[in-house]
Amino acid sequence: MSTATQNSESIIWSGEADGWLDLLDQTLLPTELKRIECRDAETVWEAIKMLRVRGAPAIGISAAYGVVIGVQTVGMDSTIADLKARAIEVIDYLATSRPTAVNLFWALDRMRAKVDSWGDDLSLADAAETLLQEARAIHQSDRETCHAIGKHGCDVLDDVQGVLTHCNAGGLATAEYGTALSVFFTAQDQGKSLHVFVDETRPLLQGARLTAWELMQRGIKATLICDSMAAQVMREGKVQAVVTGADRIAANGDSANKIGTYSLAVLAKHHGIPFYIAAPASTFDLAIESGAEIPIELRDAGEITNGFGRQTAPDEVEVYNPAFDVTPAELIEAIITEHGLIQPVTNENVRSMIG
């Protein structure tokens, strides 16, 4: 099977408030570009749960559209109270799809605030339209946010030729351009030539399947490595910075991201290489003080024992499969946000930039 070569948006809304969500099925990349039509909340929930759409901002955007779809079951002869009740039911349901990326809850809270603002005399059509407008606003603002992150992040790569990234924090994981990858794409736009080392990102291979694909689509030099090769790559002096995305950042700057990110940050510290997180304000959870409070998603054992169609471990072996880990703030050189750099990463600096 060959690599899909056509680029494609991960999230597209089609039509008006009675429309549908069209998602690129990321589980099939890089060999197949297939889209899924989501016409009910269950299909959106399943797409998030199974990582057909993934990456913190993309999950939030999809869930927001999922609310628009979920209320389509309410007949136009119903009352505004019925529509409100259904909207809240859908919001609560979509919130159960994945626990770690706070962008999901951030987007659903914005949708909930819209529902709370409905007056009793609002027509059902107008109420549904407010939900669509809010979902579109979340989608559009993420585009702008990603480009702003890229611009701020570029400066940290001034003296860097080789950089390492983990998982996928690219256009597929956001409205467009990405967070960590936006930094590389923007550097390229500004004429800089970078060599990006890409961790394959066990067990679901978001680095190999998605990041390597996105970088190659844009003509950025990409070298794929197994996660366990990062120390060797650093020791050989091949990278001068590490940049990853994040799924939830606590008030003290502790940052949850794809499993394996924490060990990269430890390795980077040992080798004197700066480790950066690139993430939007919507990834910060200022309601929690430290990373110890971030819920870590545990996923199915089969992702490790039977990944991609082949059994690679004995039957019945005990498996532990946390999907994320938390990098302590003291290992992070700076957090690159759409508002600028948080550096040093302290509670005070996080609150003054984000709060």
**What is the pattern of x (binds ligand MRU, CB under 6 A) and - over residues 174-193?**
x---xx--------------
Please identify which residue in 52, 54, 84, 248 interacts with ligand MRU, judged by CB under 6 A.
54
**What is the pattern of x (binds ligand MRU, CB under 6 A) and - over residues 122-161?**
----------------------------------------
Distances (CA, A) of 306 to 17, 50, 161, 204, 302: 40, 15, 37, 11, 5
Q: Does 51 bind ligand MRU (CB under 6 A)?
A: yes
Q: Does 99 bind ligand MRU (CB under 6 A)?
A: no
Catalytic residue, chosen from 247, 254, 285, 325, is 247
Please identify which residue in 206, 211, 255, 282 interacts with ligand MRU, judged by CB under 6 A.
206
Count of residues interacting with ligand MRU (CB under 6 A): 20
Please identify which residue in 30, 99, 153, 245 interacts with ligand MRU, judged by CB under 6 A.
245
Q: Which residue is nearest to ligand MRU (CB)?
A: 245
Instruction: Identify the helix (H) or strand (E) that includes residue 355.
Output: none
User: Whose Cβ is closer to ligand MRU: residue 286's or residue 296's?
Assistant: 296
Give, in degrees to the nearest 5, the angle at Cα 112 between 108 and 114.
120
For residue 27, give both structure tokens.
Answer: 């589980």
**Residue-wise DSSP of 63-116:** HHHHHHHHGGGS-TTS-HHHHHHHHHHHHHHHTTS-SS-HHHHHHHHHHHHHHH
Mark whether 82 is an active-site residue.
Answer: no
DSSP assignment letter at 5:
-
Contacts of 74 (CB under 8 A, 6+ apart): 82, 83, 86, 124
Please identify which residue in 108, 138, 164, 169 interacts with ligand MRU, judged by CB under 6 A.
169
Bridge pairing between strands 255-258 and 324-327: antiparallel
Compute CA 186 distance to the chain's CA centroid, rounded to the nearest angstrom. Answer: 18
Q: Which residues bind ligand MRU (CB under 6 A)?
A: 51, 54-57, 101, 167, 169, 173-174, 178-179, 206, 244-247, 257-258, 323
What positions carry a catalytic annotation?
Answer: 247
